[in-house]
Amino acid sequence: MIPAIEIKHVHKCFGAVHALRNINLEIPIGEFFGLLGPNGTGKTTLINILAGLTLSNSGSAKVMGHDVVTDYREARHALGVVPQELVFDPFFTVREILSIQSGYYGLKNNNLWIEEILHYLDLADKANINMRALSGGMKRRVLVAQALVHKPPVIVLDEPTAGVDVELRQALWRFIKRLNYNGHTIVLTTHYLDEAEELCSRVAMLKQGEVVALDSTKNLISNIAGCSIQLRLSPDKLPAALQSTMISYAEGSYILSVKDYTQIEGVLTALRVAQVRVLEMQLLRPHLEEAFIKIMNDVENQEPA
């Protein structure tokens, strides 16, 4: 089966700045994929290359098997992009914008679907209001709606929840999850790692224009983030043998890092040997955020001085 997105050996320079170095990515149809990384690492550049807004220096990119340069019309038909910048056309109302946007994709009678999008994004009561009069959050919803008018099989959301209130965030994710459930491939960039962890089945992490990690979210968390346990002890003193595993200590509770849960036994043995009693023990679920920080730091340390 053809992948939803296929990126091969993509390089991009802006003058002397190397924005992307040899990016290779394949995203199968139906996946909920996360593109993570600090600001300025090339996430948006990569999305822009997929969308045809930026031209790569070398390499190729395909959307649903269509090359974004040579077969650009088909590729753009298959793609819906929610841009990061809050852009809008001040001459039109929400409904006019969505109808114009449908026309660009060759759709004439798209009203049923437009009504549905308006409903799910909670925009129905704003449909006849001029874009200029909308708040930032509302404009963001319209951007999402615009990306969906042509029911693209691949949907790319570039930081869709930046500066958006909780209510919209939840409504948006419910809607996007539904689309994903119906077979749409979703590519998401976000700085909210809890969002990425909850939604994305697979994640790529970018740093300085390179993919530094690419794996399922589950693997990244369990392999890299490790586990941790929280302990309250009596007496309130950690045995010397366990000092090296301590992450933090605050108000009588220690947090220790363990590679995996089988190591807990070792910790308990060390405590027993030191005649320290466990008052309370809690296993802390590791999060993508820890894996992210660890990967970013590791990359930094590997760099030549």
Partner 1 sequence: MIGFYTLFRKEVLRFWKVGFQTIGSPMLTTLLYLLIFSHVLERHVQIYPGVEYTVFLIPGLVMMAMLQNAFANSSSSLIQSKVTGNIVFVLLSPLSYLEVFLAYVLASVARGLLVGLGFYLVTLIFFIVPLSSFLWVFLFTLMGNALLGSLGVVAGIWAEKFDELAAFQNFFILPLTFLSGVFYTVHSLPSFWRNLSYLNPFFYMIDGFRYGFFGISEIPPHFSFMVVTTFFLTISWLALRMLKTGYRLRH
Positions in the binding site for partner 1 (CB under 8 A)? 14, 48, 51-55, 72-74, 76-77, 79, 81, 83, 85, 87-92, 100-108, 146
Could you give the CA distance from residue 142 to residue 100 in angstroms, rounded to a whole number? Answer: 13
**Phi, psi of 167, deg, nearest 5:** -60, -50
* Minimum CB distance to partner 1 smaller for 93 or for 263: 93
Q: Which residue has the tokens 């976000």?
A: 190
Q: In a 3-state reduction of DSSP, which class is residue 100?
A: helix
Closest separation in Å from C-beta 79 to partner 1: 8
* The residue type at 261: Y
CB 59 within 8 A of CB 8: yes
If the CB atoms of residues 69 and 255 are measured against partner 1, the closer one turns out to be 69
Q: How far is residue 190's CA from residue 106's CA, in Å, rounded to a whole number?
A: 31
Nearer to partner 1, 89 or 195 (CB): 89
Beta carbon of residue 108, minimum distance to partner 1 (angstroms, whole number):
6
User: With respect to partner 1, which residue has the nearer C-beta, 143 or 276?
Assistant: 143
Q: How far is the CB of 254 from partner 1 (least distance, A)?
A: 51
Rounded distance between C-alpha atoms, residue 58 and residue 141, angstroms: 34
Exposure of 28 by Cβ count < 10 A (0-12 exposed, 13-18 middle, 19+ buried)? middle
Question: What angle do helix axes 111-120 and 166-181 make, rounded to 10 degrees?
Answer: 130
Q: How far is the CB of 20 from partner 1 (least distance, A)?
A: 13
Which two three-digit tokens encode residue 267? 């910790």
Report d(CA 193, CA 35) in Å as an integer.
Answer: 11
Cα 73 to Cα 83: distance, rounded to the nearest angstrom: 19
Query: Least distance to partner 1 from the beta carbon of 150, Å?
Result: 9
Q: Which is nearer to partner 1, 67 or 74 (CB)?
A: 74
What minimum distance in Å lies between the beta carbon of 283 and partner 1? 46
**In the complex, least distance from residue 182 CB atom to partner 1, rounded to whole angstroms:** 22
**Which of 129/284 has CB closer to partner 1?**
129
* 100 vs 299, beta carbon nearer partner 1: 100
Tokens of 165: 């209130």
Closest CA to 18 of 301, 285, 208, 303: 208
